[in-house]
């Protein structure tokens, strides 16, 4: 079965859209949030846990899986679906972001990237063709081309060169494809320049990709800049193709992205914060480690139907985290992903019934977001930790 996208309804008061992506492993209703399982596993959760929270599609990372356990091993099991026992759709990221952020680079030119593994220091080469070959062997339903992902603080000349190289690699990726049952999406670059983003969008459209992703955003720039660039870029994309905002996953950002016409989101934020004891609620994130929760005889969210909230009190979760019991990470991750996926379902329903603007306003009026300065400090700390561990 070939990939297709059906736009079912557009909200009259914004650019919010509802649709369905059809893949060989099932349909995905949009807008959709994709849990991140970079190494073939959403941390602390089983495939059955993912199904129980309503996940329809998961994201895996070609860079991580290529390095460990290796594509040859997975091929012996058939493909990534069988290896990780997930029968739903899978999107694989090319690993371009990880190559540029994690691995010590040895050389980059139009041929590709020579880098050292963050695991053992061994040297590897990624060309656009190699990245397509890896993802075709993994058997994902949606795959991404190798792109040059620069920092948003790079100078204009560097950003322009990265965009040009991303375009060169996109052309070669299209030519390298051999499988007809996978959808290759184009990635739009251009930093924080609206002009470069428009040029990149127009170039990617000339290659007629079945979907388009916004790369190089939400990497440290202020949120208002992110959404300004997003709005100025999405207007140039065709309405009959899915739009994917990479690496964005906080509830307030989801609403802003959907309002501007984004169909797909992914982020490790819900599960990463869960493992740190930060649980999503309709009123904002709650730190389960706070002493106030020690005797709390109620669930994380009163009307939440997730496994965690149906069976356990906040006091029990507080105890698990204080005791560093492994069950804490599973129960918190189940709740946070259930919260995100239910939120996406409610957003989709509001688009279909015409109430999205009211739903967005009401939700955000009652939701306390993380302080922007604190958010940036936390994100930079996380990025530093990743680089140091590499």
pLDDT digits (tens, 9 = 90+) for 29-50: 999 999 999 999 999 999 999 9
In angstroms and rounded to an integer, the radius of gyration of the C-alpha atoms of the chain is: 20
Residue whose structure tokens are 């994902």: 140
* Residue 70 neighbours by CB distance under 10 Å: 12
In a domain, 126, yes or no: yes
Q: 331 near 321, Cβ under 8 Å?
A: no
Asked whether the whole model's pTM tops 0.75, one would answer: yes
Do 100 and 160 lie in one domain? The reply is: yes
For position 385, what pLDDT does the model report?
A: 53
Active-site annotation, residues: 93, 266
Provide the number of structural domains found in the chain.
Answer: 2
Beta strands in the chain (DSSP E): 4-10, 17-23, 26-30, 32-34, 58-61, 90-93, 105-109, 112-116, 123-126, 142-143, 183-184, 186-188, 212-214, 243-245, 264-266, 278-281, 284-287
- On the 0-12 / 13-18 / 19+ scale of CB atoms within 10 A, 364 is middle
CATH number of domain containing 108: 3.20.20.105
List beta partners, residue 284.
281, 368
Residue 286 pLDDT greater than 50, yes or no = yes
List beta partners, residue 368.
284
Do 223 and 78 lie in one domain? The reply is: yes
**Burial call 268-297: b when 16+ CB within 10 Å, e when fewer:** bbbbbbbbebbbbbeeebbebeeeebeebe
Average pLDDT over the chain, rounded to an integer: 94
Do 166 and 261 lie in one domain? The reply is: yes
Question: What percent of the chain has pLDDT above 70?
Answer: 95
In a domain, 382, yes or no: no
* Residue 187 neighbours by CB distance under 10 Å: 29
**Burial call 103-137: b when 16+ CB within 10 Å, e when fewer:** beeeebeeebbbbbbbeeeeebebbbbbbbebbbb
Q: 271 near 249, Cβ under 8 Å?
A: no
- CA–CA distance, 197 with 279 (Å, rounded to integer): 35
Question: 389: part of which helix (H) or strand (E)?
Answer: helix 372-389
pLDDT digits (tens, 9 = 90+) for 158-191: 999 999 999 999 999 999 999 999 999 999 999 9
Given 206, 236, 268, the domain boundary residue is: 268
In a domain, 305, yes or no: yes
In a domain, 201, yes or no: yes
- On the 0-12 / 13-18 / 19+ scale of CB atoms within 10 A, 171 is middle
Across the beta sheet with 32-34, the strand order is 32-34, 264-266, 243-245, 212-214, 186-188
List beta partners, residue 17.
10
In a domain, 185, yes or no: yes
Do 54 and 151 lie in one domain? The reply is: yes
Do 259 and 193 lie in one domain? The reply is: yes
Instruction: Give the orientation angle of helix 223-234 with respect to helix 251-259, to 10 degrees.
Output: 30
3-state DSSP assignment of residue 266: strand
Given 250, 268, 286, the domain boundary residue is: 268
Do 251 and 322 lie in one domain? The reply is: no
Q: 151 near 97, Cβ under 8 Å?
A: no
- On the 0-12 / 13-18 / 19+ scale of CB atoms within 10 A, 61 is buried
Which whole number is the average pLDDT over 296-306? 97
Q: Of 197, 253, 244, 191, which is closest to residue 216 (Cα–Cα)?
A: 191
In a domain, 324, yes or no: yes
pLDDT digits (tens, 9 = 90+) for 76-103: 999 999 999 999 999 999 999 999 888 7
Residue 384 pLDDT greater than 70, yes or no = no
Residue 14 phi, psi (nearest 5): -160, -170
Do 111 and 248 lie in one domain? The reply is: yes
Q: Is the dihedral of CA 57, 344, 331, 37 positive or negative?
A: positive
Which whole number is the average pLDDT over 300-309? 97
Do 83 and 222 lie in one domain? The reply is: yes
Residue-number span of the structural domain to which 46 is assigned: 31-268
Least confident range from 63-77, 114-128, 318-332, 369-383: namely: 369-383
Residue 386 pLDDT greater than 50, yes or no = no
Query: Residue 153: pLDDT band by 50, 70, 90 thresholds?
Result: confident
Do 181 and 89 lie in one domain? The reply is: yes
In a domain, 340, yes or no: yes
Residues 6+ apart with CB under 8 A from 106: 114, 115, 116, 123
Do 148 and 234 lie in one domain? The reply is: yes
Q: 277 near 289, Cβ under 8 Å?
A: yes
Given 251, 268, 285, the domain boundary residue is: 268
Do 81 and 179 lie in one domain? The reply is: yes
Do 307 and 254 lie in one domain? The reply is: no
Query: Residue 382: pLDDT band by 50, 70, 90 thresholds?
Result: very low
Q: 26 near 204, Cβ under 8 Å?
A: no
In a domain, 282, yes or no: yes
Would you call the peptide bond into 259 cis, given omega within 30 degrees of 0 as the criterion?
A: no
């Amino acid at each position: 079965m070939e990939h297709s996208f059906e736009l079912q309804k557009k909200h009259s008061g914004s650019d919010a859209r509802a649709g369905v992506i059809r893949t060989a492993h099932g349909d995905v209703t949009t807008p959709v949030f994709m849990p991140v399982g970079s190494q073939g596993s959403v941390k602390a959760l089983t495939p059955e846990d993912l199904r129980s929270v309503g996940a329809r599609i998961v994201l895996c990372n070609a860079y991580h899986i290529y390095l460990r356990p290796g594509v040859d091993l997975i091929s012996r099991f058939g493909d990534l679906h069988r290896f990780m026992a997930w029968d739903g759709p899978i999107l694989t990221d090319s690993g371009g972001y990880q190559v540029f952020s994690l691995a010590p680079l040895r050389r980059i030119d139009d041929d590709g990237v020579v880098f050292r593994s963050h695991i053992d220091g061994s040297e590897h080469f990624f060309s656009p063709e190699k990245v397509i070959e890896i993802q075709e062997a993994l058997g994902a339903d949606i795959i991404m081309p190798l792109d040059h992902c620069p920092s948003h603080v790079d100078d204009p000349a560097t950003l322009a060169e990265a965009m040009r190289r991303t375009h060169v690699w996109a052309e070669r990726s299209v030519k390298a494809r051999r499988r007809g049952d996978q959808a290759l999406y184009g990635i739009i670059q251009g930093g924080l320049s609206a002009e470069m983003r428009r040029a990149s969008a127009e170039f990617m459209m000339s290659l007629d990709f079945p979907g388009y992703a916004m790369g190089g955003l939400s990497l440290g720039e202020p949120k208002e800049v992110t959404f300004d660039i997003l709005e100025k870029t999405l207007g140039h994309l065709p309405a009959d193709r899915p739009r994917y905002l990479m690496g964005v996953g906080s509830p307030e950002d989801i609403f802003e992205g959907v309002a501007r016409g984004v169909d797909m989101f992914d982020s490790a934020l819900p599960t990463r914060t869960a493992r740190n004891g930060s649980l999503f609620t309709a009123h904002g994130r709650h730190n389960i480690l706070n002493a106030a929760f020690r005797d709390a005889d109620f669930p994380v969210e009163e009307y939440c139907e997730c496994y965690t909230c149906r069976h356990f009190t906040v006091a029990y979760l507080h105890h698990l985290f204080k005791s560093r019991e492994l069950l804490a990470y599973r129960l918190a991750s189940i709740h946070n992903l259930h919260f995100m996926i239910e939120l996406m379902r409610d957003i989709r329903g509001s688009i279909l019934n015409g109430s999205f603007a009211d739903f967005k306003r009401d939700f955000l009026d009652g939701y306390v977001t993380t302080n922007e300065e604190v958010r940036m400090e936390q994100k930079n700390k996380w990025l530093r930790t990743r680089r140091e561990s590499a």
